[in-house]
Amino acid sequence: MMSRALLPLLLCAALSAGCGRTVDPHAAWRETVTQVSTLPALAGGHFDGMLAVSNLLAHGDHGLGTFDGLDGELVLHSGVVYRVDVAGAAHPAAPDDRVAFAQVTWFEPDELYSVMAMNQRLFRSTLDWKQPDIGRAQAIRVFGRFNFVKVRSVPKQTPPYGTLDEALKSGEQVRMLKNINGTLVGFRMPGALGGVAPPSFHLHFISADASTGGHVLDFEISAGQIEIDDTPVLHILLPTLVR
């Protein structure tokens, strides 16, 4: 016969949320990069949105990507999805906006570096030296003051779609944002992945006032902090390729 003294313990185990239980059954997912579609599919012109922003947010609070028809650069920063339009204006995305490509994760930094006066080349070589590619994905966040951030965005494409290269060549808009506070949001993917994901560093930018940003082509940090989140698992939502 069960002891009366055991009953409160069993009840407590069943109501785990209120019992100070520390094991999180979803913890493994927090160390996962979820990727929507693949780079070959995007490069080949599969620009149809395949996942709603509201569903993307189930997979992380940090990330980047693009929307249906390449209609805006996606920046997911601290749990808010921004769309940076072709004119460079950033707006919160609508929950039912659809994403054609994205990479997201739950951002929990493992390493922090304070830096001053660092251009993109030095940023990359420093991280390659301090964090050699051991085959893991790394989520990256860099916030602070920038001497400049060179960004691009792409106009909305209409079907039948050409390739990503064709879309970039025909309509890419490049802007130089000078003396600006904000955050670089992105990833460094391992070479071992081959071409499944954008190789090496891929960063998007959102200004501190959330008014502008885009896909990052170049930058120079005045003073800021680099944060790295090692992420050993890649989870890919494969697109349906309609031909």
Minimum gap (Å) between residue 239 Cβ and Zn ion: 17
H, E, C per residue of the chain: CCCCCHHHHHHHHHCHHHCCCCCCCCHHHHCEEEEECCHHHHHCCCCCCCEEHHHHHHHCCEEEEEEHHHCCEEEEECCEEEEECCCCEEEECCCCCEEEEEEEECCCCCEEEEEEEEEHHHHHHHHHHHCCCCCCEEEEEEEEEEEEEEEEECCCCCCCCCCHHHHHHHHCEEEEEEEEEEEEEEEEECHHHCCCCCCEEEEEEEECCCCEEEEEEEEEEEEEEEEEEEECEEEEECCCCCC
Choose between 102 and 234: whose C-beta lies nearer to Zn ion.
102
Residue 150 interacts with Zn ion (CB under 5 A): yes or no? no
Residue 83 interacts with Zn ion (CB under 5 A): yes or no? no
Taking CB under 5 A as the binding criterion, the range among 133-141, 154-162, 187-195, 214-222 that sits at the site for Zn ion is: 214-222
Choose between 73 and 229: whose C-beta lies nearer to Zn ion.
73
Q: Is 6 exposed, middle or buried (0-12, 13-18, 19+ CB in 10 A)?
A: exposed
Taking CB under 5 A as the binding criterion, the range among 34-42, 99-107, 163-171, 208-216 that sits at the site for Zn ion is: 208-216
Minimum gap (Å) between residue 82 Cβ and Zn ion: 13
Choose between 30 and 89: whose C-beta lies nearer to Zn ion.
89
Residue 46 interacts with Zn ion (CB under 5 A): yes or no? no
Minimum gap (Å) between residue 65 Cβ and Zn ion: 7
Residue 141 interacts with Zn ion (CB under 5 A): yes or no? no
Tell me the residue nearest to Zn ion as measured from the CB: 215
Residue 188 interacts with Zn ion (CB under 5 A): yes or no? no
The span from the CA of 46 to the CA of 52, in Å, is 16
Taking CB under 5 A as the binding criterion, the range among 15-23, 87-95, 173-181, 207-215 that sits at the site for Zn ion is: 207-215
Taking CB under 5 A as the binding criterion, the range among 53-61, 113-121, 133-141, 213-221 that sits at the site for Zn ion is: 213-221
Choose between 13 and 80: whose C-beta lies nearer to Zn ion.
80
Distances (CA, A) of 149 to 57, 70, 90, 172: 26, 21, 15, 16
Minimum gap (Å) between residue 158 Cβ and Zn ion: 20
Minimum gap (Å) between residue 27 Cβ and Zn ion: 29
| Site size for Zn ion (CB under 5 A) | 1
Residue 215 interacts with Zn ion (CB under 5 A): yes or no? yes
Minimum gap (Å) between residue 186 Cβ and Zn ion: 8
Contacts with Zn ion, residue ranges (CB under 5 A): 215
